[in-house]
Structure 1
Amino acid sequence: MALDSASQNQRRSDAPEVVVARLPQYVRILTRLLQEGAEVVSSQQLGEKLQVTPAQIRKDLSYFGRFGKQGRGYSVIHLLERLKLILGLNSFWNVAVVGVGRLGRAILSYPGFTPDGFHIVAAFDSNPDVVGE
């Protein structure tokens, strides 16, 4: 069952904060499963990886619509895409780093932000020696 964006937003606002806070964990697990070639995952498998019960997985997901079919599990790619949409991870975000010291340089060199839609487009620092690097 497809939900329109108004229904998705309404359901998200009704979900407890603890449930919304678990969604990024689901995204990480599903991304890993997809990279490993998994096509379908059960609530039992997700629960084991997240250390919650299969019933909790099903309850969490029910706040955001219907996913999967009983006895067949969830399509990894479909569930991943839907959760990214719910979390707003289907968008691209241009970001700037303010402060290019050790931490700022580490952030600039970290490739893990791009797959999640974060594009570093500028870096600023008050030290004139690092300007233009």
Structure 2
Amino acid sequence: MASASSALDIADLARLAGVSSRTIRYYGELGLIRPEARGAGGRRLYGPDALQRLRFISRLKNLGLTLEEIGQLNRAFDRGATPRMLEQLDRLLGQRLEEIAARIAELEKLAEELRSYRAHTRRKLSRTRSS
């Protein structure tokens, strides 16, 4: 548990992590992050590892993982199953890469269709201006 001097309340943790207090509460509801203690008046107090966890969650979200998937990884991490956590992360990242590759292929197809339509539009415009 964090000592009283190193404990962060939810507002301080939110500021340091660059998220809202509501986000931290929501992540708490999902079991992604937990306070280490309760302070005066029931205030949530977090240790320094909470900041690392929030940053990790943010990185995983930026990679396209859902909060449910992040929760799976967190549970594996909490159990200390580092090899299992890495295997899960590898699987999830592989899935994301496949999804991104499919999206890129779709976007490239769309870009080609737009180029063709634009060329057609320019030809029509050129003929209209010539008349």
Higher helix share: 2
Same fold (TM over 0.5): no
Higher strand share: 1
Structure 1 or 2, whichever has the larger Rg, is 2
TM-score, normalised via structure 1 length: 0.29
Point out which structure has higher relative CO (alpha carbons under 8 A, 6+ apart): 1
TM-score, normalised via structure 2 length: 0.30
